[in-house]
Structure 1
Amino acid sequence: MFDAETLIRDSYNKFRDTVYQIKGTEGLQVLVPARLIGELRGLPEEVLSATEAVDEAMLSRYTNFTLGNHADLLSTLVRCKLSQNLARLVPQLKGELEYVVATEFPDCKDWTPVKFQPFALRAIARISGRAFVGSNINRQEQWMDISINFAIHVFVAVVKMQLFPEWARPVAQYGVSELRQIRRDVDKASVMLKPIIEERLRDLEMPSYEKSPDDLIQWLVEALPEDEKRDVRSQAHLQLILAAASIHTTNNLVTDCIYDLAAYPEAQDILREEAHQVLEVEHGWARKESMAKLKKLDSFMKETQRLAGNITSFIRKVVKPIDLSDGTHLPPGTKVLAPQAGISHDERYFEDPDTFDALRFYKLRHKSDEDVNRWQFTSISDTNMNFGAGKHACPGRFFAGNEIKLVLAYFLLNYDIKLKDGEKRPKPTVMVMSKSPDPDAEVLFRRRTVAA
């Protein structure tokens, strides 16, 4: 349960380009190498289902962790509305970051040890909350608590339920307190969102109403069918699922990036110089194209994700029989994964794969015109599925990428960062197939005299 990454990497090194099986907490799982992913990622849901696979992995029958028939709508809103409004949102999100730093981060006038993961979790919850629920709610401590802990309650509930055989779960569910807590989380979120949603609906009915807020509450009430616009509980549930899917994953990568900045201090000056030029000299904090111009930081983030990212990816369930070109037959019911941890360390895809190279992808982007976009942080391929693959690739990765750049650029411009003397980069915590940065690790921060 605590050595899944080693299991995946060792098994991948043994089988590489062949399909193979491992036994997980939910039975046998089939791992498909990168060279065969292209045969699977374009298959329709009725043949190879991502939805069924995720619902089963999250035990949605018990946790209710599913978007149901709202999946396409929410994906469209995140991909279009959220991404299209990034330019207008960046100054507001920076304001949220400055607020949480001023109220919750140490002064760091001299080198100060900081447990960064817990701080970053609250910072990302605030920043994301500004885009999801707006300024009236995102700074309220109760919303912070709900939006962070909902995902934890779901994860713990899944782990506990997996301890029971499938036949026992209908009864065992009543002994899992986190399942009750999940329902209470949705109840609390509904109470908080109800007056805001009702106010937004009243505003929409006013003939003189012109400028609408830039947040997910507004986009939902405008996009939902008429008979669902007043379903507060459903909207609260969607908000919490989005928070669960975004806050913790974004926080994990931000924290891993900070750990890598501390472990590789030579990268700090390179990235700091770029951030200074783009965001300060060119006054880029409020410019739409600024985050895209942080190409070295983009490369650094992608390299951190390569080495600290998902253990597995491309989770699917076979619905109808599939025959692969190598002769492998996948019968209905087969659970499919990609061995991402193994692929990310494969020297055929990444030169000197065990070495951290902050500018690895920056250099790859400059090899040819077609490589300019191929190696961006948000780009996906058969060898990089940390954001998923095909039509089920994470629609929020563009927002998350800009959010991470904002946080890292701010800390680079305002702080020096290093490990404690004699210490190495903090090791991750692994549970089942989930990996996250050590929440108790401390790194040292010192405020710079020239601030952003």
Structure 2
Amino acid sequence: MALKHTMNVVRAAPGFRQQAAGVLRPILETRSQISKSGDKPIYDNAVQWLLDEYKSVGKKLTAEALAQDELLLTVASIHSSSATELSILFDMLDYPESMAEIRAEISEVQKKHPTWSRIDLNPLKVMDSFMKESQRYHSFPQLTMQRVAVADWKFKDGLVIQAGTQVAFPNLEIALDDKIHPNASTFDPKRYLRKRDEIDPTKFHFASTTDDSLHFGAGFHACPGRVLAQDAMKLIFIHLLTQYDVKYPEEGQKRPPSMPLDFNIMPNVMAPLLFKERGQRVYRPPGVR
């Protein structure tokens, strides 16, 4: 069933690209005219970024190329960040003592940095450690660092990877390997806080790419937006935890089972949650007043 779903999505992709190109073509034509006229662009969004990038390297940006790039950006950023945010929230609900500590940390930092610039997010080390442990324990991508060998490669043990071979790393197995993460089956909210204190304060934060954390890939092709995603998620949690109380509808309810989808493991986006503004008495589903 999962393979059939995947194949249906793959077959539908060309049609989606054509549809996106049709939507973006008049926008691109307008932006291109502004660019040719020499007027300063009045837009600051992905269409303009891509137009400027193509122009800087002497390439013509077509509607088809723009659609492909926009769809790639969408796939790479929106569902992964939102799914990770929800997954971390589920874990916070299962560890209320950590949620309380994170709230206290936010309050303490906010006294010194009420406007929350990106630099001001750095002192949120308890939050950052919890986010990274949640990312490890409930890995979103099952595979990471997908590569294609462009030439034959022979390892020291004699293993040969032939040119054209597709290779990927099993992210979930690495994240739950006791040889890599001691007591890997235990959710430890301060695992990475200790690593930063004891090993290196500049590593082991949520957006880090290290030998024991491949969620964002590694090397030259590591996710270029991982630090932006990290900061955006922290800002969301700051607002959520300071403005709202959140709970499951049933007392004693725990994190709902995750759902495999293609090469990802999604948190259950259909699971109901109740919210109330802090200080109010009644919980409501999101969007209900």
Mapped pair 1:384 → 2:213: yes
Q: 2:163: which partner in 1?
A: 332
The one of 177, 180, 188 aligned to 1:357 = 188
- CA–CA distance in structure 1, aligned partners of residues 46 and 17 of structure 2: 21
Q: What's the CA shift for 1:192?
A: 4.7
Which of 160, 176, 181 is the equivalent residue of 2:8? 160
Q: Matched residues in 2 for 1:376 and 1:366: separation? A: 11
Which residue is equivalent to 1:314?
A: 145
Report how far residue 356 of structure 1 moved.
1.5
Answer yes or no: is 1:180 the counterpart of 2:15: yes
Q: How much does 1:296 deviate?
A: 1.4
Deviations 1:414-438 (A, max 9, x none): 1122233232201111034221111
CA RMSD of aligned residues (A): 2.7
* Counterpart AA for 1:382: D
Q: More displaced, 349-358 or 388-397?
A: 349-358
TM-score by length of 1: 0.56
Q: How far 1:230 moved relative to its partner?
A: 6.2
CA shift for structure 1 position 333: 2.9
Q: 1:350 and 1:333 mapped to 2: Cα distance?
A: 32
Q: What is the aligned partner in structure 1 of residue 284 from structure 2?
A: none
* Alignment gaps of 5+ in structure 2: 281-289
How has the CA–CA distance of structure 1 residues 425 and 216 changed in structure 2, closer, same or farther, with 3 Å as cutoff? same
* Among candidates 249, 260, 267, match of residue 80 of structure 2: 249
**Bigger proportion of residues as helix:** 1
> 1:262, 1:358 → 2: CA distance?
13
Residue 191 of structure 1 and its aligned partner are, at CA, apart by 3.7
1:311 maps to a residue whose letter is Q
CA separation of 1:256 and 1:190: change in aligned 2, threshold 3 A: farther
Instruction: Measure, in 1, the Cα distance between the counterparts of 2:157 and 2:125.
Output: 39
Aligned with 1:270 (options 73, 77, 101) = 101
Q: 2:143 touches 2:169 (CA, 8 Å); kept in 1?
A: yes
- Residues 12-161 of structure 1: pairs in structure 2 closer than 5 A: 158-160=6-8
Q: Which of 29, 33, 52 is matched with 1:222 structurally?
A: 52
Structure-2 change in CA distance of 1:193 and 1:356 (3 Å): farther
Match of 1:14 in 2: none
CA 1:237/1:200 → structure 2, altered by over 3 Å: closer, same or farther?
farther
* 1:387–1:229 Cα change, 3 Å: same
- Aligned 8 A contact 1:312 1:433 in 2: yes
Q: Which residue matches 2:38?
A: 205
Tell me if structure 2 keeps the 8 A contact 1:261–1:418: no
Aligned to 1:373: 202
The residue aligned with 1:301 is: 131
Task: Give me the whole-angstrom Cα distance separating, in 2, the residues matched to 1:331 and 1:221.
Answer: 38
Q: Deviations over 1:99-146 (max 9, x none)?
A: xxxxxxxxxxxxxxxxxxxxxxxxxxxxxxxxxxxxxxxxxxxxxxxx
Partner Cα distance (2:116, 2:25) in 1: 33
Letter in 1 for 2:243: N
CA apart distance, 1:284:
4.2
Deviations 1:55-80 (A, max 9, x none): xxxxxxxxxxxxxxxxxxxxxxxxxx
TM-superposed deviation, 1:297:
1.3
Looking at structure 2, the residues matched to 292 and 200 of structure 1 have their Cα atoms a distance apart, in angstroms, of 39
- The structural deviation recorded for 1:200 is 4.8
Kindly state the Cα deviation for residue 244 of structure 1 after the two structures are TM-superposed. Answer: 1.7
Q: Gaps spanning 5+ residues in structure 1: where?
A: 3-24, 26-154, 163-175
- Please tell me the residue identity of whatever aligns with 2:23: K
Distance 1:194 1:256, change over 3 A: farther
CA gap of 1:200–1:284, structure 2 versus 1, over 3 A, is: farther
Q: Which residue of 2 aligns with 1:166?
A: none
* Structure 2 CA distance for partners of 1:276 and 1:200, relative to 1, 3 Å: farther
Q: Distance in 1 between matches of 2:159 and 2:53?
A: 43
- 2 CA distance for matches of 1:185 and 1:298? 36
User: What is the aligned length?
Assistant: 277
Percent identity, aligned pairs only, is: 28
Distance 2:104 2:208 in 1: 24
